[in-house]
Structure 1
C-alpha cells in the first residue's frame, strides 16, 4: 500500500483529513479484527496513520498531504525548504574533477576481506593495482593469494609502504595526520567484484585527490559529497533508512494481502505498476513469493544499519517512528535465527505472527512447452570417457542399497545381505570392481538408518585395514529422489551431490523446483501425494529448501548451490567440473534431471 506523505508541488492532491479517513478503516480492521483478517500486525502502517493524525491535529488537515513536513519542521526546528535552497553542486561532476587530477597509485593496502571487501580487492587486482590484503580469516587469505594478491601478517604490515589504505577507520584518527576519505558503498557483493558499485565519498580535496583513481576503479557511480569526512556516511544512512523501511513495509503489505486471501503474485504485479511501488518492493518481494532467502543482502545488515540510523537520530534528538519500528522487525527476524538469510526474510516475522504464507503458489507447467524451451543436449556422449575412467580406477565401489530395487537393475554384481567384518574382508580380498550391500533400511527412521549405515561403514573400515592395497568408495543408493534418510546420513564432506534423476518416473527439476509429471502437466512435488507420505513426507518443492527441511536447518538453503540444465547442456562436462572444483565447502545440489547419460 502507498504512503505518499510528500506528494505534489503546491497542488492539493489529497488532504490530510481525507488520507486519515481512508487509512482509518483499514487500520482498524488490521488491529481489531474483521472476519478472516483479525489480528494482523501492522506496525509500520500504524506509525504512518499516526503521523497523518498528527498533521491533522496541527491544523493542516485541509492542506495537501505534502504539508505534513510543516509539522515536522515545527517539532524539530528545521526547515526542509531552506535546506533544499542551500548551495547546489553536482556530486558526479565533483567526482570527475577529482579523478582527473588524482595522483598515481601503485600499491594499495586492503584490511578486511569479507564478502564485499574480497570482491573489491580482487577487482583492484584486475585493474592492475598491486594489492596487499589482510583478514583475520586465514582461508580468505589463501583465496586472495590464489587471485593474485599479496598478504600482510598484520594490519601494521599491510599498511606499510602503501599509497592508499582501504579499511574501516574511526573518525578520531583524522587528528593523527591521516588523509581520510569516508566512502560508504552500495551495490552488493556481485557489483563489488565487478567494480560497478555506487560510492558516496567525502573528505578533504587533498585526501580525495590521493584516492581518486582507486575510487574510480571500484565504482560505476561515484559521488563526491561536500561537508568533510562523514558526509558520505550521512547520505548512506538516509539511503539505508528508506531501503529498510521499504523492505519492511513491503513485507507487511504482502502479509496483509495474503491474509485477505489475495493471490500474492497477482497482487505484486498490480502494486509494481501502481503508485505504491518502490525499487526495494520490486526487488525483494519476488524473494518472498519464491520463498527464496539466498542472502544477496543479509537481514542482519539492516539490524546493523538501522541501528546506526536510530542511534544517530537519538543523538540528534530526531524521532524516527517508522524507521524504529522497521529496525525492531529486523531485530525480531534476527532473533528468530534468520539473520544470515536474505533481508526479504523479514516477512517471516509476519508469517510467524499471523500464520499466513506470502509465498506465491508454484504453477503447474505444461510439459511439452517446458521441454521445447530447453537448449539442445550436449552433443558429445561422455559414456566412453566414463568407461575409461572406470577401467583405470583401482577403487572398489561399495553400494549401500536401501531396498532390493537397485540390485534388480544390475547384473554380474554380487550382493551381500550381511556385513560382518569377516564377510567384508573375504569380499575385499577378491578385489572386485563393485559389490552391493542390501541394507533394507528404507522403512527405518532417520536415526535408525543413520546408526545402521555408521555400523556398516565402521565394519568396512576395519575390514579394509586387513586387506593389502585396497581402497574403496561408498555410494548410498536410495529408491526415490526425495527421501530424507539420505540427507540424514550426510557427514562432514567437502561437498555432497544430490542428483535427482528419474526420467522413467517423470521427475524433472526446473530452476531448483522438483516436478512430477502427471500426464501432460508438471506438478510441483510438494503438491503431490508423494509429499504426503507418512514416513517420507515433505513440504518443499524447491530442492534447496528441501535440504534445509530434511536436515532440520543444519544445512540452510542458502548454502546449497545448483548446476542448471543450461550449464549441463551448453557447457558440458568441463563446465560442470570447473563449477564443482571452484565451490567452497557446502552442500552441492545438481539439477541433472535432464541428463540422459
Structure 2
C-alpha cells in the first residue's frame, strides 16, 4: 500500500472527514461519498474526488474506509442497490471503522469475502481533532499479511494501533469495552459537575479542580469543557454514544456479565434522547442533570 493508491472514505461526517483531511494532507488521493451534499462539497473544495454513490467509489478506490453510524448503514453502502460491493469493483479491501456489534463485523466480513473483498475490523476512537491529526487510536483485527500490506495507511490514520489478532469481531469487542467505560465516565462526570453547580459552587472552578485532581478523565475534560460554554454542536452525537452503550451492555448481557454502572449510564443517555437532544453533542447529558427539576 503506497500513496499512489486511491483511498475511498464512505461517511465523511466528523470522524470520516477528519480521516479524509488527514490522508489528503499526507499525499494520498482521496475519493469520498456521503449522503450530505454539503459534506461532499467541502471535500471537493479541498481537492478530493466526489462520488455520487458508494458503487462509484468502489470503481475508483483500492481501499475503502467505512465510517458510517451503524451496521444497517454499512449494509446499505456495501450491499445496497448502489453499494460498493458490485461486480467489477476495484476495491479489494474495506476497513470497517464504525462502532458495531462483533457479530455484525463477522457477518459483514463474510459477505464481503463472498465477493472477493477483504475486510479489516478496525473501529476508531479519539474524536474528530485526533482523526484529522492522525493521532487517534484504532483497534484492529484482520489477516496478518494484509495488515502488513496496509501498515503505511494504518499508521497514517492512527498513531496508536492495537492489533487483536486475525479473528473478525475481536476489535469490535474491544471498542465496545472502551466505549462502555467512556459512557460511564461521561455520565459520572456530568453528575459530579451538576452536583457542584446545584450546591452553589462555581462551575468553571469545579471543572478546573476535577481536571487537576483524581476525578478527571479524558472524556470528562473534553465534553464538559464545551458544555460549560453551552456549546452542544455535535462532534459526537448523543444518539451515537447511546447506541454504543446499548451495544456494549447487550454484548455483556449476552456473555452473562452484569453491567450495573453501564445500565445506569444507558438510562441517563436514553433520558437525554427523550428530552429531544439526540442530535446534540453527547455532552448534553449535563443538560439532562441540570434540568431534572
Do residues 334 (structure 1) and 273 (structure 2) align? Answer: yes
Query: Given the alignment, which residue of 99, 109, 131 partners 1:174?
Result: 109
Measured in 2, the distance between the counterparts of 1:306 and 1:182 equals 19
Tell me: CA distance 1:125–1:262, structure 2 relative to 1, closer, same or farther (3 Å): closer
Tell me: CA distance 1:269–1:138, structure 2 relative to 1, closer, same or farther (3 Å): closer
Maintained 8 Å contact 2:3/2:27: no
Q: What's 1:120 paired with?
A: 19
Do residues 242 (structure 1) and 177 (structure 2) align? Answer: no
Q: What's 1:156 paired with?
A: 55
Maintained 8 Å contact 1:103/1:212: no
Deviations 1:182-226 (A, max 9, x none): 111112222222222222222111231232221111122222222
Q: What is the CA distance between 1:113 and its match in structure 2?
A: 1.9
Structure 1 unmatched runs, 5+: 1-101, 355-597
Deviations 1:509-559 (A, max 9, x none): xxxxxxxxxxxxxxxxxxxxxxxxxxxxxxxxxxxxxxxxxxxxxxxxxxx
Residue 118 of structure 2 aligns to a residue whose secondary structure is coil
Q: What is the CA distance between 1:137 and its match in structure 2?
A: 2.2
Measured in 2, the distance between the counterparts of 1:265 and 1:122 equals 33
Q: What's 1:199 paired with?
A: 138
Measured in 2, the distance between the counterparts of 1:174 and 1:342 equals 31
CA radius of gyration, larger in: 1
Q: What is the CA distance between 1:131 and its match in structure 2?
A: 2.0
Q: What's 2:39 paired with?
A: 140
Q: What is the CA distance between 1:157 and its match in structure 2?
A: 2.4
Measured in 2, the distance between the counterparts of 1:278 and 1:145 equals 37
Q: What's 2:101 paired with?
A: none
Tell me: CA distance 1:160–1:335, structure 2 relative to 1, closer, same or farther (3 Å): same
Q: What is the CA distance between 1:227 and its match in structure 2?
A: 5.1
Q: What is the CA distance between 1:254 and its match in structure 2?
A: 2.1
Maintained 8 Å contact 2:31/2:60: no
Maintained 8 Å contact 1:180/1:207: no
Structure with larger RCO (C-alpha < 8 A, sep 6+): 2
Tell me: CA distance 1:143–1:265, structure 2 relative to 1, closer, same or farther (3 Å): closer
Q: What's 1:217 paired with?
A: 156
Tell me: CA distance 1:265–1:153, structure 2 relative to 1, closer, same or farther (3 Å): closer
Deviations 1:297-350 (A, max 9, x none): 332221121111122122222221111111111111122122222222201112
Q: What's 2:248 paired with?
A: 309
Q: What's the TM-score, normalizing by structure 2?
A: 0.77
Tell me: CA distance 1:209–1:244, structure 2 relative to 1, closer, same or farther (3 Å): same
Measured in 2, the distance between the counterparts of 1:196 and 1:210 equals 20
Maintained 8 Å contact 1:103/1:209: no
Structure 2 unmatched runs, 5+: 67-73, 75-95, 97-104
Maintained 8 Å contact 2:14/2:235: no
Measured in 2, the distance between the counterparts of 1:173 and 1:343 equals 28
Maintained 8 Å contact 2:135/2:158: yes
Q: What's 2:126 paired with?
A: 187
Q: What's 1:129 paired with?
A: 28
Measured in 2, the distance between the counterparts of 1:105 and 1:304 equals 37
Maintained 8 Å contact 2:3/2:29: no
Measured in 2, the distance between the counterparts of 1:309 and 1:197 equals 21
Deviations 1:90-122 (A, max 9, x none): xxxxxxxxxxxx677612222222222122123
Q: What is the CA distance between 1:251 and its match in structure 2?
A: 1.3
Measured in 2, the distance between the counterparts of 1:138 and 1:289 equals 32
Tell me: CA distance 1:321–1:341, structure 2 relative to 1, closer, same or farther (3 Å): same
Q: What's 1:325 paired with?
A: 264
